[in-house]
A and B are shown apart, each in its own frame.
Chain A
Amino acid sequence: MDFLTIIQVLDSTIRLATPLLLACLAGLFSERAGIFDIGLEGKMLAAAFFSAAFAATTGSAWLGLFAGVCASMMLSGLHGLASITFRGNQLISGVAINFLASGMTVLIAQSWFRQGGRTPSLTGDARFTSIELPFADTLQDVPFLGPIYSELLSGHSVLVYLAFLAVPASYWLLYSTRFGLRLRAVGENPAAVDTAGISVIGMRFAAVAICGILCGIAGAYLSTSLQAGFVKEMTAGRGFIALAALIFAKWRPWYAMMSCLLFGFLQAVSLRYQNIQIGDFTIPVQLMDALPYILTVVILAGFVGKAIPPRAGGEPYVKER
């Protein structure tokens, strides 16, 4: 494996980690506020479809992104209605949202485009094009650092940079602002927040809305940047890998980035190589596919550090009367 191959694998790691990272941060905001969200997958899927559909009809990737975020926000609103307003079971609501997105996207795609549940292929401005960082061309020939800069860091779509900028932004928002403090408090001890005169319901809806926006961007990235158009079930379990990454990161933004890069790397490797040969031993590709899930179970089991979720997670808040 030479240097250029490594660069290429890492390059595809960044591309594949981006949707995971956005969805993972989305889940982070929601779960930090005490709302479990296993509907990340469905929200991404809905956003992926509506982004591709609007981008295909209007010819603008940005309008597509906007439509995708709106679709994801609507599902977020539904999740909020079920789990905050009506104090329903958050996990069951998430399951319902996943199925709703999975069925509705194909139904709408079929009656809109009549192409067997997919959108037309996106070309030109309907896709997010890659951005060349300054001096990428001139620095290309510098040994070692040149390829890292011009191949690995430069030449991604704007959403990739947005996703990685969202990490420090989330960190700042959660740990350095009043809003962040309240949001985290709502997930740990909502009664205390309520006593301080702050609306628990309002805070939780705000968190769920942020979750919807980030999931929307993740979905839009999948269909208008990583790939050119929507196909049935195109999220392919990414929402659940993001959930796994979130637990792996123990609900912290910077660690979320690291775990998403790790899981993105696993995906990149299993895409590039089928079976990996180490000496006489072959690692089957199926093991690589299952590795994020196995790692999550190991982490959850507490054998490698303990993952403790926000204390009020999954519990609807009932004011005492």
Chain B
Amino acid sequence: MDVMPKWADVILIPLISLLLAAIISALVILAIGEDPIAAVKMMVAGSLGSTYGWGYTLYYATNFMFTGLAVSVAFHARLFNIGGEGQATLGGLGVAIVVLYIPWPHWSLALVFATLAAAAFGAAWAAVPAYLQAKRGSHIVITTIMFNFIAAAFLNYVLVNLMRPKGSMDPASAKFPKDMRLPTLHEILEPIGISFSRAAPANISFLVAIAACFLVWFLIWRTRLGFAIRAYGHSETGALYAGISPVRITMIAMIISGALAGMMAINNVMGEAERLVLNAAEGAGFIGIAVALMGRNHPFGVFLAAILFGFLYQGGAELALWTKIPRDLITVIQALVILFTGALDNMVRMPLERIFLWMRRRAS
């Protein structure tokens, strides 16, 4: 029997963890001689106070939604995909190849195929560690870490030696064609009478990310495959008795996970940079871990957590611009969120369970 009601597990524990992370972050800001309350006000004003700020917040949130979903799908099968960064890097390569070397008549068609290519490249990059885990028993965490480094070196090689335009010193691909630009939220919202900042990078990929949230929810909770994935994650022996193949589930879960991480590239490569650069993913693959933990592996939770981290990212950039607080504060907050919601989960959970037990005893 569960000691705690479900709402406490889903809402209370993440909120307490977040509160602990916030308190420690505030102490850190105090320790470096800045005012935490002023800092929070500035972060809110900079990221949520204008449509320009919202545009950046949602742009970052789109990245984190894809990577957060990627990590959470793998978590459901009890696999820790730490390789979202490498899969997103490869996804970027897929997008760049499709957009640069095929003349598309319209951006919408390009978007469909760029999404497919990004997903295919990301999935392929995840499939190798998945195969090694399923068939050869190599630990997926170690192999996906190694694949992040291999992906970085590989992209470096491709950009410097193959995709760099002649005469350019910059290790980056050529600029994508102008008519392949994705519509920004400004262009989408204008016809329905909502004015949105023209300069912000949030684009149609945000809607793709929301669609991905729905699809993942449907997959995990409404299909036979999703049930198999969850069953496998819950108990490997139990799944085995039910006739679920561990090899098949490991492969499928990781391929879906890699595809989601790869799809992030339509936002940052096609939607924002409009060319492929080194380190395009900028750590979003790792933030996916924090987002998935915070969102309790549920697509709606991932959606909320991604927006929270989008806010932190944009707010942190504002802080770095106007105060002496470096942008690395966000890395610390991210670390604290991972620590409290992931590793120190029991530290929050055990006392809470005791309180609920005590309350139940008093009631009866």
Contact = CB atoms under 8 A, between A and B. Distances in A.
Q: Closest 6 interchain pairs by CB?
A: A103-B331, A93-B343, A99-B335, A300-B138, A103-B332, A290-B153
Nearest to B155: A286
B136 A100 contact: no
Interface string A87-101: 111111101111110
B147 to A, nearest CB: 7
Contacts of B364: none
A222 B146 CA distance: 22
B345 A88 contact: yes
Contact of B142 (A97, A102, A104, A243): A243
Counting chain A CB atoms within 10 Å of each CB, the highest count among B28, B146, B335, B350 belongs to: B146
14 contacts: A99-B286, A99-B338, A100-B332, A100-B339, A103-B331, A107-B325, A110-B32, A110-B326, A111-B33, A290-B153, A294-B146, A301-B132, A302-B136, A302-B137
Given A110-B324, A286-B157, A301-B138, A92 B289 contact: yes
A89 B347 CA distance: 12
B32 A111 contact: yes
Contact of A96 (B128, B156, B157, B335): B335
Interface in B282-339: 286, 289, 293, 324-326, 328-336, 338-339
B39 to A, nearest CB: 13
B221 interface: no
B331 A300 contact: no
Q: How large is the interface on B (under 10, 10 to 19, 20 to 34, 35 or more residues)?
A: 35 or more
A92 B342 contact: yes
Interface in B30-53: 31-33
Contacts of B286: 95, 99
A117 interface: yes
A107 B153 contact: no
The main secondary structure of chain A at its interface with chain B is helix
B141 interface: yes
A185 interface: no
Given A104-B328, A107-B326, 8 more contacts: A82-B347, A88-B343, A91-B80, A108-B32, A287-B157, A297-B132, A300-B132, A307-B138
Interface residues of A, number: 47
A240 B149 contact: yes
A149 interface: no
Interface in A99-131: 99-100, 102-104, 106-108, 110-111, 117
B154 interface: yes
A97 B286 CA distance: 13
Contacts of A237: 149
Contacts of A287: 153, 157
Counting chain B CB atoms within 10 Å of each CB, the highest count among A100, A237, A293, A307 belongs to: A293
Interface in A124-145: none
Contacts of B32: 107-108, 110-111
Contacts of B138: 297, 300-302, 307
Contact of A86 (B141, B147, B344): B344
B149 A293 contact: yes
A100 B145 contact: no
B143 A297 contact: yes
A192 to B, nearest CB: 23
Nearest to A237: B149
A92 B334 CA distance: 12
Nearest to A299: B138
A244 interface: yes
A106 B333 CA distance: 13
